[in-house]
A and B are shown apart, each in its own frame.
Chain A
Amino acid sequence: ATPKEELKAKLQAIHSMQAEFSQQVFDAQQHLLQTTSGHFYVSQPNKLRWEVTLPDESTLIADGDSLWLVDPFAEQVTAMEQAGAVDNNPIVLMTDPNNPAWEQFTITLADGGFQVDASDEQSHVQRLVFYFDGALLSKMRILDRQQQQSELSFSNIKVNQPLNQQLFIFSMPDGFELDDQRHAATGL
């Protein structure tokens, strides 16, 4: 099987996933810029919740149609089309192994992980690397166009156990502003 087929098979086997994560962000000179931690949930197809709890709260929800970025610090929610967001947010792709957008990436085996490189060097996220511990997704690395790299390590991982679907339903916190960047809404 090609690395792409192997990665797709591994991702397909993860119908749902729940884990705690810790993310370390390094600049191009490998200086540690910041560390965040929280909870990470995936439910195939197309649903994801990335909940940062420390040192500051923010939540990214992919409900299948839209990406909602809930930012209490700014008292703002940003809404984006989920389909269109793949360029800046290929992480969303992991929730849909059959998505044709996978063709925009070349996948090779590297450093013990599946290295997913964007073929368009204009795209914001240049590379994702998925590391598995058997069937479990244990680590993810994100490299962007300015060579900043972040590493998400997962722990307390539960795979294919029922997840409360409320986790993937967005509801507008009162008093927050909505920055709606979805094409449909703006009629572009």
Chain B
Amino acid sequence: CQAPRAVRLNADSEAHQTQLTTLQIWQISGRILYKDANEKHSAYISWQQNQDDFDMAITTLIGTRVMGLSQRQNLATLTLDDGEYQDTQTENLLWRLTGWHLPTSQLPQWLKGQFNGYAAPSFAPEGWLQSLTADNWQIQYSDYRIVDGVVLPHHITLIDNQRSIKIKISQWTLN
């Protein structure tokens, strides 16, 4: 893969990115809209992050579960109504079995508005991430609010050439 881009950050962005990296245990709940050429899925999403492990749940509008996806070290597990499936990596597992292509290996950072060296970020005047281009995803951030002293995004759109994903976060919980 390419070498990390040299990215010039001003003090606010630097401080914000550093603060986000220290945020290792958190949870969000909100809505997700996944659209590609032939499918449109609208549901609730909850994401519980604990260091490198996460649990994602996709839930119907009446509260029943569509699917669950979890990562524990190098074990990825997808649960659907008809069973449980495993792989080493969540992204491929999810794509193979549901056709959903979610950048689940990057979302632990991207959901917070954090980026790594291989991305091309642009920042809001206040210093937080406004948009990001990474691994052929175009990501837009908005509706930043302060949650327990940390500025976090509540509206994220991720677009690649075949699909668009809209995430509206109603609740951030930080531990």
Near B by CB (< 8 A), chain A positions 8-42 give 23, 25, 27, 31, 33-36
Contact A34:B171 (CB < 8 A) given known A27-B57, A145-B81:
yes
Contact A144:B42 (CB < 8 A) given known A73-B31, A74-B33:
no
Report B-chain residues with C-beta under 8 Å of the C-beta of A148: 57, 59, 63-65
Q: Tell me, rounded to whole Å, the shortest Cβ–Cβ distance linking A80 to chain B.
A: 12
> Would B168 and A125 count as touching, CB distance under 8 A?
no
Residue in A closest to B66 when the chains form the complex, CB atoms: A146
User: How many residues from A make CB contacts under 8 Å with B?
Assistant: 33
User: How many residues from B make CB contacts under 8 Å with A?
Assistant: 26
Residue in A closest to B48 when the chains form the complex, CB atoms: A31
Report B-chain residues with C-beta under 8 Å of the C-beta of A76: 40, 42
Residue in B closest to A59 when the chains form the complex, CB atoms: B61
Near B by CB (< 8 A), chain A positions 46-60 give 50, 52, 55-56, 58, 60
> Would B40 and A34 count as touching, CB distance under 8 A?
no
Specify which of A74, A142, A177 is in contact with B64 (CB 8 Å cutoff).
A142
Question: Given the complex of chains A and B, what is the CA–CA distance between A71 and B166 in angstroms?
Answer: 14
Q: Tell me, rounded to whole Å, the shortest Cβ–Cβ distance linking B139 to chain A.
A: 19
> Would B63 and A23 count as touching, CB distance under 8 A?
yes
> Would A27 and B55 count as touching, CB distance under 8 A?
yes
Q: Is the C-beta of A65 less than 8 angstroms from some C-beta in chain B?
A: no
Report B-chain residues with C-beta under 8 Å of the C-beta of A25: 44, 59, 63
Q: Is the C-beta of A91 less than 8 angstroms from some C-beta in chain B?
A: yes
Contact A74:B62 (CB < 8 A) given known A56-B168, A56-B170, A148-B57:
no
> Would B68 and A33 count as touching, CB distance under 8 A?
no
> Would A34 and B65 count as touching, CB distance under 8 A?
no
> Would B29 and A33 count as touching, CB distance under 8 A?
yes
Which one of B61, B67, B168 has the highest number of Cβ atoms from chain A below 10 Å of its Cβ? B61
Specify which of B59, B79, B168 is in contact with A34 (CB 8 Å cutoff).
B59
Other A-B pairs, 5, CB within 8 Å; known A23-B63, A76-B40, A144-B65:
A34-B59, A52-B61, A58-B61, A69-B61, A148-B64
